[in-house]
């Protein structure tokens, strides 16, 4: 059974949990996320957060502030009402560091449960770390490295190998806690950060692996970094930054006299900006200790880790990227079955000399095939750019940014042909950002799909009987005699373009 075909077999959703919602009561923010259902690629129906600052004074007073509590209670009341409007079938609520450590945390939980009409689970540090790790497994393909989840009250560090939670540590290094504990003195905070990191004797295990950065403050720093380098995408999940580059950038934020002078600060909510220097200081000192190969930003964390726990073993084993693409093909393509057929139909093309396709490259090719017809309803003149924009910014998981760029370009070339225009638009910027190998593969795949649609009109049951093959210096398209009438000038022009891209002569055979 092929990788993609397996996804179409025995597809089940947890309908008794659709939709489901999670309320995350953190030390800085209280957030509601409503998901379409429990699946390997969860789709968000609604997302709202309120920056309440529950943990703002816990370090010095031991208590949740009265104003912060009332703001959080009002947020919980609104979130309960929204859950009712959205007809949520399962509402799960959990709280983290501030609520579990404050002496009036229990009273806040009691009031919160009354407002929510649901029990609030106060997570231990270990539970929070485990869920953060499972969130990474949910959103990133085959993760292996150190996960860091920075909240307002604490920092969770987790060693993740082979999708397995190995060990974890919770440190009192959240942004609000550091502001409270040090009187917002960054030099004093640096000493406290180093003191706490010294306690973690397994940090050298992070050397030359990946560091997965989770949490709103670190996402804000990544958004500013994107603006600083004029990055072509504005999707946070899967964004990768070289370690030393991010150490230097975090140091710049830590030392900045005025945050408003930094490029990209407009990307950060005003209520979030006060914790940026502390979050940058923690990131800087942690990366120096870990010495990872790279830093990858994840928008998947504790909430998604909770959803992961609801999945069956079979659903957990599914590929998150292909699961999403399959669902999207069903919603937007003329035929999801035809999109599936394209993956097998293009296999011989990429088995030819010069491609030496890796398993990961084939996985991305199958994903591109599944997404290749999602723009068919758009105006023909704009299908390329519109499809590229949708794919480039879709809520994909299990993929990094180079993979995302490949998908977007492959779908673009499928509609636009071998266009060299668009240099002032997103397509031109993504072409410049892609590697030469990735760009060629995207062009070849796009050209192949254009050939397929000339024969099939996007309908299943055709391309599986019209195989591609290499024969010496020729690329051969074989059409059965019963389908000979599908041959034509436009088909041959598109096939000649494909053959040229793979440095072969085009040959159409009626067999």
Which residue range(s) make up the domain with 88? 2-122
Tens digit of pLDDT for each residue in 253-278? 999 999 999 999 998 988 889 999 99
Neighbours of 351 (CB within 10 A): 14
Alpha-carbon span 304 to 308, nearest angstrom: 6
CATH number of the structural domain spanning residue 44: 3.30.420.40
Integer Cα distance of 273 and 86 in angstroms? 32
Q: Calculate mean pLDDT across residues 106-134.
A: 94
Q: How many domains does the chain have?
A: 3
Q: What are phi and psi of 406, to 5 degrees?
A: -60, -50
Q: Mark which of 101, 122, 143 sits at the end of a domain.
A: 122
Tell me the average pLDDT across 238-255: 96
Average pLDDT of 366-394?
94
Inside any domain, residue 372: yes
Note whether residue 276 is domain-resident.
Answer: yes
Pair 385, 480 in one domain: yes
Q: How far apart are CA 152 and CA 172, in angstroms?
A: 9
Judged by average pLDDT, the poorest of 2-11, 14-23, 126-135, 225-234 is 2-11
- Pair (497, 371) in one structural domain: yes
Going along 173-286, which residue ranges are E strands?
Answer: 210-214, 240-242
Domain end call among 122, 156, 176: 122
Indicate whether 374 and 448 sit together in one domain: yes
Domain boundary among 277, 304, 331: 304
- List, in sequence order, every beta strand (DSSP E) within 84-209: 90-95, 120-122, 145-150, 155-161, 164-171
Within this chain, do residues 163 and 245 fall inside the same structural domain, yes or no? yes
pLDDT computed for residue 353 by the predictor: 81
For residue 17, what pLDDT is reported? 60
Could you tell me if 337 and 467 lie in one domain?
yes
pLDDT value at position 104? Answer: 96
Per-residue confidence (pLDDT) for residue 352, from 0 to 100: 81
Terminal-residue alpha carbon distance, the chain: 27
Q: Is the pLDDT of residue 9 over 80?
A: no
Both 481 and 400 in one domain: the answer is: yes
Say yes or no: 253 and 325 in one domain: no
In this prediction, residue 164 carries a pLDDT of 81
pLDDT of 1 higher than 50: no
Provide the pLDDT for residue 426: 80
Q: What is the C-alpha separation between 509 and 476, in angstroms, rounded? A: 7
pLDDT at residue 295 above 80?
Answer: yes
DSSP state of 172: S
Predicted local confidence at residue 225, as pLDDT: 96
Residue 221 sits in a domain whose CATH number is 3.30.420.150
- At 164-203, the pLDDT tens digits run 888 999 999 999 999 999 999 999 999 999 999 999 999 9
Q: Please check whether residues 345 and 436 belong to one and the same domain.
A: yes
Spatial neighbors of 475 by CB under 8 A, at least 6 apart, are: 349, 468, 469, 495, 498, 499, 502, 504, 505, 506, 507
Is residue 309 situated within a structural domain? no
- Residue 366: the pLDDT is 98
Check the CA dihedral 387-227-429-502 and report its sign.
negative
Task: Give 322-350 pLDDT, tens digit per residue.
Answer: 999 999 999 999 999 999 999 999 999 99
Together in a domain, 226 and 102: no
Query: What is the pLDDT confidence band of residue 421, given thresholds at 50, 70 and 90?
Result: low
The confidence score (pLDDT) of residue 420 equals 57
- Give domain status of residue 313, yes or no: no
Residues 202, 208, 213, CA angle at the centre, nearest 5°?
Answer: 75
Residue 12 has pLDDT above 60, yes or no: no
Determine, yes or no, domain membership for 200.
Answer: yes
Question: Beta partners for 161?
Answer: 164
What percentage of residues in the chain have a pLDDT greater than 70?
A: 95
Cβ–Cβ < 8 Å for 61, 337: no
Q: pLDDT by residue (tens digit) across 434-472?
A: 999 999 999 999 999 999 999 999 999 999 999 999 999
pLDDT at 419: 66
Residues 137 and 182 in one domain: yes
With a cut of 60, say whether residue 3 has pLDDT above it: no
Q: How far is CA 285 from CA 43, 147, 380, 420, in A?
A: 35, 15, 52, 45
Q: How far apart are the C-alpha atoms of 91 and 112, rounded to whole Å?
A: 13
Q: If pLDDT is split at 50, 70 and 90, which confidence band does 400 have?
A: very high
Cis amide leading into 19 (omega within 30): yes
Whether residue 312 is contained in a domain is answered as no
Quick one: average pLDDT of 409-429? 80
Average pLDDT, the chain: 92
238 shares its domain with 261:
yes
Q: CATH no. for residue 503?
A: 1.10.3210.10
142-160: average pLDDT: 95
Give the pLDDT mean for 93-113.
Answer: 95
Residue 186 lies in a domain: yes
DSSP conformation letters of 270-308 = HHHHTTHHHHHHHHHHHHHHH--SEEEE-S--HHHHHHH
Rounded distance between C-alpha atoms, residue 370 and residue 243, angstroms: 34
Query: pLDDT value at position 11?
Result: 38
pTM across the whole model = 0.89
CA neighbor of 390 nearest in space, from 226, 127, 376: 376
In a domain, 8, yes or no: yes
Same domain, 164 and 185: yes
């Amino acid at each position: 059974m092929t990788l993609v075909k397996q996804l179409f077999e025995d597809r089940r959703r947890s309908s008794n949990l659709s939709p489901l919602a999670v309320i995350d009561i953190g030390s800085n923010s209280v957030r509601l996320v409503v998901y379409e259902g429990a699946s390997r690629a969860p789709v968000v129906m609604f997302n709202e957060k309120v920056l309440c600052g529950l943990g703002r004074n816990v370090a010095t007073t031991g208590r949740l502030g009265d104003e912060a509590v009332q703001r959080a209670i009002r947020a919980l009341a609104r979130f309960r009402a929204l859950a009712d409007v959205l007809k949520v079938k399962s509402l799960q609520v959990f709280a983290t560091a501030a609520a579990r450590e404050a002496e009036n945390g229990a009273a806040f939980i009691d009031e919160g449960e009354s407002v929510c009409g649901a029990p609030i689970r106060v997570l231990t540090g270990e539970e929070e770390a485990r869920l953060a790790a499972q969130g990474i497994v949910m959103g990133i393909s085959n993760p292996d490295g150190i996960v860091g989840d920075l909240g307002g009250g604490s920092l969770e560090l987790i060693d993740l190998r082979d999708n397995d939670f190995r060990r974890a540590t919770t440190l009192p290094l959240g942004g609000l806690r550091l502001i409270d504990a040090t009187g917002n003195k960054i030099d004093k905070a640096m000493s406290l950060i180093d003191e706490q990191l010294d306690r973690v004797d397994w940090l050298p295990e992070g050397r030359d692996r990946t560091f997965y950065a989770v949490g709103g403050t670190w996402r804000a720093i990544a958004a500013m970094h994107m603006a600083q380098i004029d990055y072509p995408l504005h999707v946070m999940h899967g964004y990768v930054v070289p370690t030393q580059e991010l150490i230097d950038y975090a140091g710049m934020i830590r030392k900045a006299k005025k945050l408003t002078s930094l490029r990209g600060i407009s990307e950060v909510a005003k209520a979030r900006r006060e914790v940026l220097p502390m979050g940058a200081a923690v990131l800087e000192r942690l990366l120096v200790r870990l010495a990872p190969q790279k830093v990858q930003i994840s928008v998947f964390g504790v909430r998604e880790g909770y959803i992961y726990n609801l999945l069956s073993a079979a659903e957990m084993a599914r590929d998150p990227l292909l699961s999403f693409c399959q669902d999207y093909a069903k919603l937007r393509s003329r035929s999801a079955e035809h999109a599936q057929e394209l993956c097998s139909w293009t296999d011989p093309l990429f088995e030819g000399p010069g491609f030496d396709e890796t398993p990961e490259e084939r996985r991305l090719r199958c994903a591109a095939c599944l997404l290749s017809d999602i723009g068919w309803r758009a105006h023909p003149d704009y299908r390329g750019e519109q499809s590229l924009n949708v794919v480039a910014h879709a809520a994909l998981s299990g993929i990094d940014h180079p993979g995302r760029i490949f998908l977007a370009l492959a779908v673009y070339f499928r509609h636009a042909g071998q266009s060299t225009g668009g240099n002032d638009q997103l397509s031109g910027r993504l072409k410049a950002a892609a590697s030469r190998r990735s760009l060629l593969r995207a062009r070849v795949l796009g050209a192949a799909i254009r050939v397929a649609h000339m024969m099939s009109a996007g309908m299943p049951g055709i391309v599986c009987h019209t195989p591609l093959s290499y024969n010496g210096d020729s690329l051969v398209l074989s059409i059965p005699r019963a389908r000979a009438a599908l041959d034509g000038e436009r088909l041959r022009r598109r096939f000649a373009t494909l053959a040229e891209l793979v440095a072969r002569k085009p040959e159409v055979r009626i067999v």
